[in-house]
Structure 1
Amino acid sequence: MQKMKWNTEAIVLLGVLISIEVVLSRFFSISAWNIKIGFSFLPVVVAALLLGPLQAGIVAALGDLIGALLFPVGAYFPGFTLTAFLTGIVFGLFLHKSQSMTRVIEAVAVNQLVLSLLLNTLWISVMYHSPFSALMVVRIVQCAILIPIQIIMIRLMSKALNHDWKKAIV
């Protein structure tokens, strides 16, 4: 496995992707206390495709942390930052080397069904002292909406990215 070079270009790319994640998450998402639909996964996926799992996790976690500090929507809860980091790791593990339809579906399924539906629902339940099963019903709708959107967008993005640029960074 090839290690990423922590060169200026890669660090700048991480900063840009983190900034885009914050903007998409905080200003271009539909959010309520228990549901969030948006495109903030896109910069995380770009990091996963071009840089790998760790860097995608960093983009997601720092994007969540910076967004929560600069533009709070409610009380900060570190569980969501952990889930964001794991989301980036999963996208990177599944998509960094290959973006076949099967790998895209697997990445989205793990992220949406395990991390978003189960883990984030647990965090919401803990934060707001709400029944887990009642939250789950509403959050299933979020996953049903996001799964096809993420699959389509990731496939389009992986085809659109210039993989020669990837070789320059990795």
Structure 2
Amino acid sequence: MNVKKIVLAGLFIALEVISTRFLSIQTPVLRIGFTFIPTALSACILGPLFAGITAGLADVIGMMLFPAEGAYFPGFTLSAFLAGAIYGLFFYKKPVRFWRVCLAVLIITIFVNLGLDTLWLWMLTGKGILGLLPARMMKSAIMFPIQVITIQVVWKSLAASLKHRLSFGGTN
């Protein structure tokens, strides 16, 4: 286990918890924020498995430190893990390409955010899926270009610097 990876994972967990709990707008069925940035960056640097674990741990730790209304629900931890892993599959050791960012964000938006997260909310709230979807779809439509542009700009601006400073000398 690489000490640098563990330290970076801890840093990304802290960034995800802070951005989720303090820098997001939260309603019972929507969260609007920039948690995707540390998740995507951890995927670029740590790879799919570590990014997934980091995102999942951030969800669990965030819930333990700052419990929201209701009990902990593991479905959202699975969603966080999958988002980190998907970003990792598209970004880790790959060139910065606009289509790659679009595809990763699209898959996460459709299958994780609109699919699984809506399912988890239905299970928790009992509200009909068709009642939950319109607001969630609108939020996703607004956030999609914001996520794509933000990830593209941040990844591109940090790619050269990260390549030299964070070489791990091994594989994931």
Give the TM-score taking structure 2 as reference length. Answer: 0.92
Looking at structure 1, the residues matched to 5 and 148 of structure 2 have their Cα atoms a distance apart, in angstroms, of 26
1:29 to 4, 18, 24: 24
Sequence identity percentage: 42
Partner residue of 1:3? none
The runs of at least 4 aligned residues of structure 1 exceeding 2 Å deviation read 165-170
The root-mean-square deviation of aligned C-alpha atoms, in Å, is 1.2
1:102–1:39 CA distance, 2 compared to 1 (3 A): same
TM-score, normalised relative to structure 1: 0.93
Match for residue 120 of structure 2? 123
The match for 2:39 among 41, 44, 50 is 44
21-30 or 41-50, which deviates more: 41-50
Q: Which amino acid in the other structure matches residue 18 of structure 1?
A: I
- Structure 1: state its 5+ residue gaps: 1-5
Match of 1:86 among 79, 82, 88: 82
| 2:167 aligned with 1:167 | yes
Secondary structure, aligned partner of 1:33: coil
Deviation at 1:169, TM superposition (A): 6.1
Alignment length (residue pairs):
165
Question: What letter corresponds to residue 106 of structure 1 in structure 2?
Answer: L
Matching residue within 97, 102, 105 for 1:105: 102
Note if contact 1:10-1:169 (Cα within 8 Å) is conserved in structure 2: no
SS at match of 2:167: helix
The equivalent position to 2:143 in structure 1, one of 143, 146, 152, is 146
Deviates most, 92-101 or 48-57: 92-101
1:72-109 residue CA offsets vs partner (Å, 9 max, x unmatched): 11221100000000000100001112331111000000
What amino acid does structure 1 have at the position aligned with 2:128? P
